[in-house]
Amino acid sequence: MDAGLKQRDECEWVIEPHAGMRVPAVLYASRELVDAMDAKVFEQLRNVATLPGIVGEAYAMPDAHWGYGFPIGGVAAFDPEQGGVVSAGGVGFDISCGVRTMLSGLKKDDIEKVKERLADSLFRHIPAGVGSTGSMKLSPTEMRAMLLGGAHWAVERGYGHAADLARIEEHGCIAGANPDAVSERAKARQQEEMGTLGSGNHYLEVQYVAQVFNNGIAKVFGLSEGDVVVSIHCGSRGLGHQIGTEFLKDMAVGAAQAGIHLPDRELACAPVKSDLGQRYLGAMRAAINCALANRQIITHLTRETFANVLPGTTLPLLYDVSHNTCKEEMHMVDGKRRRLFVHRKGATRAFGPGHSELPAEFNRTGQPVLIGGSMGTSSYILAGASAGEERAFGSACHGAGRAMSRSQAMKRWKGRSVIDELAARGILIRSPSLRGVAEEAPLAYKDVSAVVEASQRAGLAKIVARLEPMVCIKG
């Protein structure tokens, strides 16, 4: 393990500044999770700590694994008044990929009676997989409106309800989006992809609450054992990926021109106050709105399907939160409230009780933190903790985190056998790609229960409920 890590607490490890690091690097994880991590995670975390204008510490969550530039599970905040930067590699390619969870008012037995029919109906109604397209094709005017309006745009066009917006991060639309900073290539890739899941680790899952750990918070969230919920995990599709690809190239050139030394070219960045930095922020925010609109449309399609199979089901929204973003936020640093640009790559915002950006009903509980498992394994709902805002700028883990690459998973498992094994456990998988199923085999990921337990022990969030899958529509 070594890598310069020193244990500071039960689930907190630190690498003190050296070799160009401006701040310490901190990893939140149990010893078992740390021992199993690729050493590249520690190297990437140290590299993040060298970037200009970084504030506090560079953080990695318990599900951290090797990524592009930043480790996936990485969190870092930058002060624009101190030369702080924005990094496309610190956000990731799937901008605003996130999880949305809906309540159903149904119990597990209600689903068991119609599970096959529901699985088939969801699979027919919600496009999934590489290159999947939806029923709409956006005109240039509608594309611009969507990039500016996010979930508001979707609701205005009949996809969902105004009440949904209060339960979405940024209330469904982030300010400062600039469609003019989004290339025509990126817009073209998204033109027919609205309302689609995409591929990789994206999914729509029908789940039931298997265990409640905090009855008080669960009651506020509307959860009790045996309840059925539906979770959607997807992002900004081709548009976000194209934005990431293009700006990483521009930032690699721009960093040198700005006199920024990069220990790794993949950490390409630009000063927040530069023209390039502002253009990226405008494009990235447009992609955030795209992801929020996309999940809103999928929500509508899911509600239509449930209402057809189980009449009277309405699926109100519990919460929607992203885990690949750079957000402008106010945080206390060294006793002063400062405006920072917080990168969360494979890390979820997890604001604690009393935070001004949360709906009133979550004032005492903290924000719902939605942790997606891997196909066939548990997912979790946590609640943001006040201590987490001091420890990692109000951030927590986002999922299990990969334990092996997709190519390694392909060599070990066959998609058909994974589907059959899960069916024997009562979990129905529907996917257009057997290869995709093999790549996302449950054991290709870390133990999500160990990840969320480490997050709780580190004070980042509180475990509220464990969810188990019944039906998974897999891209």
User: Known catalytic residues?
Assistant: 398
Identity of the residue numbered 402: R
Structural tokens at position 151: 């979930």
Q: Is 19 exposed, middle or buried (0-12, 13-18, 19+ CB in 10 A)?
A: exposed
Which DSSP helix (H) or strand (E) runs through 321? strand 317-322
Residue 141 burial (CB count, 10 A): 8
The radius of gyration of the chain from alpha carbons, rounded to an integer in Å, stands at 21
Tell me how far the alpha carbon of residue 176 is from its chain's centroid: 20
Residue 20 burial (CB count, 10 A): 12
Half-sphere exposure of 287 (CA within 13 A, CB side): 39
> 458 to each of 28, 387, 392, how far by Cα in Å?
6, 9, 10
Identity of the residue numbered 365: T
Identity of the residue numbered 223: L
Residue 340, helix vs strand vs coil: strand
d(CA 187, CA 238): 8
d(CA 45, CA 196): 33
Q: Give the DSSP letter string of 302-317.
A: HHHHHHHHSTT----E
User: For the chain, what percentages of helix, strand and coil (3-state, to nearest 5) are there?
Assistant: 40, 25, 35
Choose among 72, 11, 12, 9: nearest CA to 45: 72
> 5 to each of 26, 42, 172, 205, 472, how far by Cα in Å?
9, 8, 39, 37, 38
